[in-house]
Structure formats: structure tokens, C-alpha cells
Structure 1
Amino acid sequence: MKVVIILAICALTAVAAVAIPEGKNVSGEDGWYIPQADGSLVWVSTEEGEQILADLEQQEEMQSRLLPVPVTFYLYTNSNPSKGVKITETVKSITDSDFDASNPTRFVIHGWTQSYTAGMNKDIRASWLARGKYNVIIVDWARARSVDYASSVAAVPKTGEKVASMINFLVDNFGMNLDETEVIGHSLGAHVAGYAGKNTKNGMLHAIVGLDPALPLFSYNKPNKRLNANDANYVESIQTNGGQLGFLKPIGKGAFYPNGGKTQPGCTLDLTGACSHARSTAYYAEAVARDDFPSMRCGDYEEAVADDCGTSYSGVKMGAITNAYMVNGDYYVPVRSSSPYGYGSS
């Protein structure tokens, strides 16, 4: 069946373009450029894309009754900062691990084609563990590694429910505090985080951080089917490849636009946007470690995209741990072309 879906997507267009043509279709408005496993992009209209997704979601519902969506959790703490311990929703598994409910917890979720060993996971968990005592739980969702992007999109809701189930288990059985729990997701993982927030019981997550939330096959006007600002007490989005692989319109309560949110300095010949898309994870890891991304407050996201937010820093820093208590709006973030990317303590 998956082969049929892949062929159906390919049949919708005669050419798989490597780069988005200038002045052509607007991704996210009248369709999407769907990423392919070989790095190319295929244009699919809104009607065609939604039909493909509807067919896959129906198939997903039937399959999930027989075969649950595979999701694995790996716990890292200050006692095991580099070698994860696989944990499951059993009292014995958690008791035998170094999970400590008195410490804040961070869930980290990768995007399409990646796994729990991805570099972004290593960098983000290292940054958090360097700050102090944390439970860092890396989520590995096998369906992200489907060669068919649309199939991975269809698995997002059930994957998010699985993450929520683990969160609810840790709250109910070990007293994990939702007010000290955050979920961080990149690309498709950002929407998985959104579904986790939608399905969390007995309260809301303290925060969700969406790292360039994926645009292809997601609609801004359907917030219940993507990460949105109501999925946690605070949702922050770091948008680095807007209008291509990621959303350009603001996703979070606090929406941050490094370099205007479309392309990132240092990403030369970034035809498919992959470099700019991935840069959001590097920015976030650095923000946790160094708190060095000052921003300018903008009137709206269009001012942020145009770098038309003045020259005065707002006092708000992208990725700051205190943002959940004070941030609401759209922000332009100046960044450098190489690490360290932030402009420091301005």
C-alpha cells in the first residue's frame, strides 16, 4: 500500500524540482512542496495533498488497531549523560532507572528521517544536563524514518498520543510535575509535541518549544491538526525556514524569527532549505547553554520577516527558560553565520 501512495504522489507532478521555482506556487497557501527522500521537492496542490493524507489517516486508523505506532523512550540524566536507558510505561522500568520526579523533565522529539541518535538530540540534552539536574527523555518514533513523508505525517497524531501516555504515566505514578515539564520538537517532531500537549491529562504542560515546525501537509487554518499556541501553558516557536520546510506565520505564543525566519546566514546554496530548517535545533541548544539570543519586539510577523522591528533590543531572549512567564508576540532575532550564533547579552 505504501508503494502505491508513493507512486500517487509522484504522479501528481511531472518534475521533481530540487529548488522551489521563483514566482511559482506558494507553499502553505495553495499546496505544498513535499520533501522526498532524495532531497528533492514535489509540488502537491491542497486538494491533492489533503486527499492523500485522508487516505493515509484512514489506513493508519485501521493499522493501529492491529499494530501500535512504535515509539521508544530513552532517559538521560546527570548520572548517565551520554548513554540512554530505555524506559517503558511500567513501574519497574522507571524505578530501575535514574528518573527523579523532583527534577524538571524535558522530552525531545526528532523530525523526519531521524532517530534518537540524531545530533540535535545529543546537543539539546547536553545543554540541559549542563544546566543542572534534569530528566531528559529522548523520543524515538520509527515512523519518522518512512521513505514517504506523507506516511510520517499521518503517524504524527498517534505518536503524540504515545508521548502523552508516557507523560500521564509519569505524572500519575511518580508525581512528575507538569509545571516543570517541557516538550521540545523539531520539524514533524514539533507537531508530535503539539499532539502530546493536546492529550496530556490532569493539567497542561508547562511549555512546548517548536523548532521550525514542519509546513508540508499542515495548514495554518487548521490549528487542531498541528502545533498551536494552546497546546501548553506556553508555546514557543523558533522559525528558521518559513514558507519552505517550516511555517512562516507565527505558530507559538512567542514566535521568534532568526534572520527574518526564511533563510539563515551561513547556509549557502541551501536550495531545499534543509540547512536553514536544521539551524533551529542548533540555535535552541545554544540558547539553553548560553542564553545569548537577544531579540527585537515586532508589531507582527511580517515586520519580523522584513527586519522592520527597529534597532532596540526587547529584553526578551529566544529560548530563554523564563519566556513562559513573560513572552507573547513576534520577535526578530539577529544571528551570526557560525557558532556561537547569538549576539550575546545585549
Structure 2
Amino acid sequence: MKTIWLLTFCALAASVCAIPESERENGENGWYIPRPDGSFFWMDKDDAELRLQQLEMQETRALTTTPVKFYLFTKSNPTKGTKITATSKSITKSNFNANNPTRVIIHGWTQSSSSGMNKNIRDAWLSNGDYNVIVVDWARARSIEYASSVVAVPTVGTKVANMINYLVSDHGLRLDTLYVIGHSLGAHVAGYTGKNTNGQVHTIIGLDPALPLFSYNKPNKRLNSEDAFYVESIQTNGGMLGFLKPIGKGAFYPNGGKTQPGCVMDVTGACSHGRSVTYYAEAVSQNNFGTMKCGDYEAAVNKECGSTYSSVRMGADSNAYMVSGDFYVPVNSKAPYGNIN
């Protein structure tokens, strides 16, 4: 009981009990947890995991609802989404077409369905042809406390999977033409979506998967390379807001994966974190990000992968059938960010 009390006290007063700053390793012995204003506070690993356990217990006891909404965009309604539900009436009245591939987009913390990332990725795919683009809105992403949003991730992923399962069973959606695309916390939602579908999702794209409160050595509690036939991670703020160690079967490291050119005075990491979305949207529409194959992720981070371009392009639609390993990606400081025509 004394130990539990002490851990609880430390979790509430992290600055008192925390590991000295010189000994902190973000993602290893604790995490820098983001606040809505862009600042961070440190929590030791044991304290943070206790806090998550407390929140999970509150969720269970309170039977907290976790609302998730879905908006469908197609060539017929490219800018005004149709809200859809898992009912025959809703889907048959919409422009959903099972003959077309489907792309599901999931936003991250503090964002919503109206956030710019959804528009950019939606427009990129619709510029390529006929797709069902489903934008997910999960309200718990807007919780003031980041940890509260983290705790909601498994439930949200299950609800997205339930919608996909319904579209497969009742309306002919094909999993082998389905991509689930998530940014930051949304990348882990995408992972839980893949874990809960009745069959294997073809591709998951993790755009700088969130690091705070997720452990690399607990792959079943985050996005991992087994959550779909192919998982690609585009890692742009590694070691801060995103993972530095490889997450996807194909892991891509623009500018080495930590910081991005053109993100001046990026103290919070938000600019570099968001570049994963910008790069991916450009990659979908222009297929212009050349890559160098690396021996391991550390070589990618240190930009020690030679100067010869591989045949692989970051974000390419064909990657599921040919890509495995870690890749360094040269990028420009302004659009177009890719440097291959």
C-alpha cells in the first residue's frame, strides 16, 4: 500500500520524484508528455504506467462512451463529407462504391475531422482516381490530458474496425484494397484497427507514430508491423513526439527522422511532427520521394546510407509488394519536398 501511495504521489508531483534530467531517456525510462499549449512535463516510466492504469480503471468503472464519427468523401462529393453509420440505410444513401478502393484517415491528438491533415490526404487520393475516402473523427483526441486520449486509443481502433467489418460483410468493401492512414496517436488507432478487423487490412500508413506513453517493447499496445499485410511508417520527429526506432515493415526517415528542414525554431517538435502528413500527401499525388536503403535505422538517422537512390519511393502505392527495411529520405526545405521528378 505504501508503494502504491508513493507512486501515486510521484505521478501527481512528477517534478519532485522524477529521474534527474541528465538521466532521462525519452521513451526508455520515461516520457516527456505534451500539453495542449505545446509545453512538456516529464513522467518516469513507472509513474506514467500507473497513471495509465488508473485512467483505464476509471474508463471501465464509468463505462465511458467514446464517440467516433465517420465522414465519406468521393469524386461525387470531394469537399463535403457525408456522415455515415453502420446501417444499410446510411450506406446505400451515400456514394460508397465497393468497386473502388477505400482509404480511412485517422487524426491525432487535439485534432478533428476538419483538421488540415484530412483535407490534404483526402485531396491527394481523390486526385489519383475514384476512391472511398473515410475521415474518422474521434472526440477523445481532444481531451485536455494527453493520457486520457492515449487510454481511448484501443476503443477507438475497435470502433473503426467495427465499421470496416460492417462495410466488408454487408456492402462489399475489399480488405485487399484498403489503406488505413493515421497520424501520431491516430497511427496507433490504425494499429488497433488492424488488430480488430475480421481479416487482414492490406496497408497501414503510420505518419510519425506518437512516442509519449507508448513503449517500443510492447508492440501489442501500439502500431506494429504485424497489424496489416504491409505497414509503412514515415518518421519525422523521432525521439520527441514520434518514435525513432522503426515501426513499420518499411520505415522511412526523412532527413534522418528527427527534425525537418524548413522547421525553424521547432522547439516543440510540432512542425517536424506534422511534416509526416505533408510529405505523405505530396508522395501520394506526386510520387517524388527518392530513398536510400540503409543497413539499419541508426544508419538512416545518421545519414550513413550512401548516395545511391534505391528503386523504392516513400509512400508509393506499390510498396506493399516490394519493401522491407529502413530507408533514408532526402527532403527539401519547402514544397515540393520530394526531390525526384
The answer on 1:264 being equivalent to 2:263 is no
Please name the residue that 2:4 is paired with.
none
Please name the residue that 2:136 is paired with.
139
Please name the residue that 2:214 is paired with.
218
2:124 to 99, 123, 127: 127
Q: Distance in 2 between matches of 1:234 and 1:68?
A: 31
SS state of the match for residue 114, structure 1? coil
Q: Distance in 2 between matches of 1:265 and 1:83?
A: 33
1:203-257: per-residue Cα shift (whole Å, max 9, x none)? 2000000000000000000000000000000000000000000000000000000
1:245 to 230, 241, 245: 241
In structure 1, list runs of 5 or more residues that go unmatched.
1-6, 16-20
SS state of the match for residue 131, structure 1? coil
Contact 1:110/1:185 (8 A) holds in 2: yes
Please name the residue that 1:49 is paired with.
48
Q: Distance in 1 between matches of 2:318 and 2:120?
A: 20
Contact 1:198/1:231 (8 A) holds in 2: yes
Please name the residue that 1:314 is paired with.
310
1:1-20: per-residue Cα shift (whole Å, max 9, x none)? xxxxxx985621269xxxxx
Quote the offset at 1:68 in angstroms.
2.6
Contact 1:10/1:42 (8 A) holds in 2: no
1:231 to 204, 221, 227: 227
Question: In the superposition, relative to structure 1, how do residues 280 and 10 fare at CA in structure 2: closer, same or farther (>3 Å)?
Answer: farther
Contact 2:207/2:234 (8 A) holds in 1: yes
Aligned residue runs from structure 1 range 1-346, under 5 A: 11-13=13-15, 25-64=24-63, 67-201=64-198, 203-345=199-341
Please name the residue that 1:3 is paired with.
none
1:164-222: per-residue Cα shift (whole Å, max 9, x none)? 00000000001100000010000000000000000000x20000000000000000000
Q: Distance in 2 between matches of 1:87 and 1:105?
A: 14
Q: Which amino acid aligns with 2:47?
A: E
CA RMSD, Structure 1 to Structure 2 (Å): 1.6
Contact 2:10/2:47 (8 A) holds in 1: no
Q: Which amino acid aligns with 1:137?
A: I
Please name the residue that 2:6 is paired with.
none
Q: Distance in 2 between matches of 1:344 and 1:61?
A: 50
**Number of residue pairs matched by the alignment:** 332
Quote the offset at 1:25 in angstroms.
1.5
In structure 2, list runs of 5 or more residues that go unmatched.
1-8
Q: Distance in 2 between matches of 1:116 and 1:24?
A: 39
Quote the offset at 1:61 in angstroms.
2.3
Q: Which amino acid aligns with 2:307?
A: T
Quote the offset at 1:116 in angstroms.
0.3
Quote the offset at 1:153 in angstroms.
0.2
Q: Distance in 2 between matches of 1:14 and 1:334?
A: 42
Contact 2:10/2:16 (8 A) holds in 1: no
1:88-112: per-residue Cα shift (whole Å, max 9, x none)? 0101000000000110000000000
Contact 1:110/1:186 (8 A) holds in 2: yes
TM normalised by structure 2 equals: 0.95
Quote the offset at 1:58 in angstroms.
1.6
SS state of the match for residue 133, structure 1? coil
